[in-house]
């Protein structure tokens, strides 16, 4: 089965980001394909490399980055939602006159077309969060 995953909540807002991560990891371990993970609304906060949780807490951003690297996942952060929340890659930082970027490793910024494509290309599109 080919899954598309949408994450609508930030990494420490509710359990949605954790649940999405655990689902994605389990699906991959069972041999399923994950076409794309799309981070939208506050979910884009899963893609900032500046998140620094306490040492005794889980680092959800690092978990996503490592899973993305290990499995070649397409981790897409919505450009409009990211810009509203101060998350930019090098290109967006330059285009908007910012002096730094903060996108986490394995993530990329793109538009809503990537969400539509995930819905079309996947057998199931699962949404985590409100």
Question: Annotated catalytic sites, by residue?
Answer: 78
For the beta carbon of residue 86, count every other beta carbon within 10 angstroms: 12
β-bridge pairing 124-128 and 2-7: parallel
Residue 46, classed as helix, strand or coil, is helix
Query: Could you give phi then psi for residue 19, rounded to 5 degrees?
Result: -65, -40
From residue 71, how far is each of 6, 39, 43, 92, 98 by CA, in Å? Answer: 17, 17, 20, 26, 31
Dist CA 89 CA 73 (whole Å): 18
């Amino acid at each position: 089965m080919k899954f598309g995953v949408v994450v609508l909540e930030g990494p420490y807002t509710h359990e949605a980001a954790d649940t999405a991560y655990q689902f994605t990891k389990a699906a991959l371990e069972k041999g399923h394909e994950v076409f794309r993970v799309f981070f939208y609304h506050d979910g884009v906060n899963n893609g900032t490399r500046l998140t620094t949780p306490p040492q005794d807490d889980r680092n959800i951003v690092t978990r996503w980055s490592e899973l993305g690297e290990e499995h070649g996942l397409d981790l897409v952060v919505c450009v409009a939602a990211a810009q509203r929340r101060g998350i930019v890659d090098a290109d967006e930082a330059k285009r908007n006159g910012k002096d730094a970027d903060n996108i986490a490793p394995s993530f990329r910024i793109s538009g809503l077309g990537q969400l539509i494509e995930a819905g079309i290309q996947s057998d199931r599109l699962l949404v985590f969060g409100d």
